[in-house]
Amino acid sequence: MNAYLNIIAKNLIKVLQWSHYMIEVPVSTPQKAIIVQMEVTSLQKDQSAINAFAEFKDLSRSSGVEILDEISGKQDAPLASHFLKKGKIEEIRRSVEETCAEIVIFNHTLSPSQERNLENAFNVRVVDRTGLILDIFASRATTHIGKLQVELAQLTHLSTRLIRAWTHLERQKGGIGLRGPGETQLETDKRLINNRIKTIKARLDKSHKQKKINQYSRMKSRNKLVALVGYTNAGKTTLFNRLTDNEQYAADKLFATLDSVTRKNIDPELSSILFSDTVGFISDLPTQLIESFKGTLDELKSADLLLHVVDISDPDYRFKVSQVDILLEELDISKIPQIRINNKSDLKGYKDFESRSDIDGRQIWISAERNRGLEELRESISNTLFEGTYRGWISLDASLGNIRSKLYSMGCILEEKISETGIMYALINIGNDELMRFTNIEGFTLIEDTDPFIQ
């Protein structure tokens, strides 16, 4: 029975999304859109972006629409019924008629009644900032978990807007013996959607439990976890690919990465590190998304180090840094050690920006695209996680087979040789903090950084 209800719910959701909420259409026929941003005095914050409208346009283009007109303005406060005043509503209505636009996108959060009233005024679909971001996430999700998280966010958002889809339907009718007003179609849809939400949450809980087991395995192997965080389109995935020799999709657009990925470091100097690429943040991130991705974002709590990647060439970088700091505070992970990575430094016109890096102060200037400044970054990571590293030869007595096995499991042994007397010599690369655990063991001896077999 539950499986049957889930199938009905999925089909219902698809119909509602396509008919009212989803922007996504075939690539060959992009929807024609008008975008609207108002400066509302009562909604302005203490700190705001310099190029907020430019970011909004990038968001709109990321959803695949064709922008026909851009409308902006100022007003003191939003109106409860339509958000906008009559004059601005009439201006947008005329633009819709002249351009034959199919959708109007607002860079604001609108209530369900405001969306409905504006749609009646324009005779086209209206989407607010929340709906726009949800649509972009839906189009970018590729993994099973990512799709479930986005669907959960969409359903939470959709459940408050069902009345718009079914205002034409009366109560369901029953047969003989079942006559009466019955359950409204709206109530049926809400029940089906709530059932689907419960099913998705159960699946996500199961997935998160599995990830906790993986975290325990990582901690047991003493691998360090370094998570890349930052504003969307700051260059996190490009840097991630450089550090792990991976080929994750990276592009100069918002939310190119949606699904978290963890890979092992390839640098022999940092052998026991796992790097995790995470979804980018954005200002005014929808509450539904934060809740849906909370399980994934909670994984950041187990990170040993955060690399806060900043697009230093962006005029709004200070505002975006503050927005990321606010979200890290909300996720209760702001106390984890951080290194600030000023990425895209080459675009600032600096010729020798590597010299600006402050390894001890944990602020590094790099260009991930041009593969510059990464040596300073690796040194800073090593100093932060391991208090530096030791690379050299050691000798182990034949009785210390368990220590040899432990060093191998940690990925520290680069080369080994056995002497005629049975003493093992190994070239290791290990953090100084880890090395201290072994130096007091009898039979474990440090040798100068030369091959002991070379006379």
Residue 442 and residue 353 in one domain: no
Residue 420 located in a structural domain: yes
Interaxial angle between packed helices 185-220 and 2-16, expressed in degrees from 0 to 180 and rounded to the nearest 10: 100
Q: Domain span at residue 434?
A: 389-446
pLDDT (average), residues 407-415? 77
Residues forming beta bridges with residue 307, ordered by sequence position: 228, 339
pLDDT averaged over every residue in the chain:
78
Q: Which residue has the tokens 């860079």?
A: 107
Which pLDDT value is given to residue 20?
A: 46
pLDDT (average), residues 40-69? 79
Residue 404 and residue 314 in one domain: no
Residues forming beta bridges with residue 127, ordered by sequence position: 105
Written as six digits, the tokens of 398 are: 């034949």
Residue 406 and residue 433 in one domain: yes
Of the two residues 95 and 282, the one the predictor is more confident about is 95
pLDDT (average), residues 206-226? 70
pLDDT above 90 as % of the chain = 13
Last residue of a domain, one of 386, 413, 428: 386
Last residue of a domain, one of 386, 402, 430: 386
Of the two residues 455 and 92, the one the predictor is more confident about is 92
pLDDT (average), residues 132-139? 83
Is the pLDDT at 301 greater than 70? The verdict is yes
**pLDDT tens track for 320-347:** 898 888 888 888 888 888 999 999 988 8
Which pLDDT value is given to residue 22?
A: 45
Residue 249 and residue 374 in one domain: yes
Is the pLDDT at 24 greater than 90? The verdict is no
Of the two residues 141 and 89, the one the predictor is more confident about is 89
Residue 254 and residue 338 in one domain: yes
Residue 345 and residue 403 in one domain: no
| Range with lowest mean pLDDT among 55-59, 128-132, 137-141, 367-371 | 137-141
Which pLDDT value is given to residue 405?
A: 83
CB 161 within 8 A of CB 133: no
| Range with lowest mean pLDDT among 7-21, 29-43, 321-335, 404-418 | 7-21
For position 421, which CATH number holds? 3.30.70
Instruction: Give per-residue burial for 218-236: e unless 16+ CB within 10 Å, then b.
Output: eeeeebbbbbbbbbbbbbb
Cβ–Cβ contacts within 10 Å for residue 251, how many? 12
Which pLDDT value is given to residue 252?
A: 64
Which pLDDT value is given to residue 396?
A: 84
Residue 333 located in a structural domain: yes
Is the pLDDT at 221 greater than 70? The verdict is no
Q: Give the pLDDT band of residue 283 (cuts 50, 70, 90).
A: confident
Residue 267 and residue 339 in one domain: yes
Is the pLDDT at 245 greater than 80? The verdict is yes
Residue 250 and residue 367 in one domain: yes
Number of domains in the chain: 2
> CA 281, CA 303: separation in Å to the nearest integer?
17
pLDDT above 70 as % of the chain = 75
Residue 313 and residue 268 in one domain: yes
| Range with lowest mean pLDDT among 141-150, 302-311, 340-349 | 141-150
Of the two residues 332 and 46, the one the predictor is more confident about is 332
Residue 351 and residue 418 in one domain: no
Residue 67 located in a structural domain: no
Residue 250 located in a structural domain: yes
Is the pLDDT at 96 greater than 90? The verdict is yes
Question: Global pTM?
Answer: 0.73
Out of 94-108, 146-160, 190-204, 317-331, the most confident range is 94-108
Written as six digits, the tokens of 121 are: 């005024």
Residue 239 located in a structural domain: yes
Q: Give the pLDDT band of residue 257 (cuts 50, 70, 90).
A: low
Residue 283 located in a structural domain: yes
* Helix extents (H) in 340-400: 374-386
Which pLDDT value is given to residue 209?
A: 73
pLDDT (average), residues 123-140? 86
Provide the 3-class DSSP secondary structure of residue 355. Answer: helix
Last residue of a domain, one of 352, 371, 386: 386
**pLDDT tens track for 159-215:** 777 655 444 444 444 444 444 454 566 677 777 788 888 888 888 888 777 766 666
Residue 243 and residue 282 in one domain: yes
Polymer length in residues for the chain: 455
Residue 15 located in a structural domain: no
Residue 402 and residue 358 in one domain: no
For position 290, which CATH number holds? 3.40.50.300
CB 342 within 8 A of CB 310: yes
Residue 375 located in a structural domain: yes
Residue 161: C-alpha distances to residues 20, 308, 343 (Å): 10, 37, 41
Residue 157: C-alpha distances to residues 56, 63, 84, 432 (Å): 20, 18, 22, 50
Is the pLDDT at 403 greater than 80? The verdict is yes
Which pLDDT value is given to residue 21?
A: 45
> CA 363, CA 279: separation in Å to the nearest integer?
22
Is the pLDDT at 31 greater than 80? The verdict is yes
Nearest CA to 280 out of 234, 231, 210 is that of: 231
Residue 220: C-alpha distances to residues 214, 227, 257, 409 (Å): 10, 19, 29, 10
Q: Give the pLDDT band of residue 68 (cuts 50, 70, 90).
A: very high
| Range with lowest mean pLDDT among 12-21, 110-119, 149-158 | 12-21
Which pLDDT value is given to residue 417?
A: 83
CB 186 within 8 A of CB 163: yes
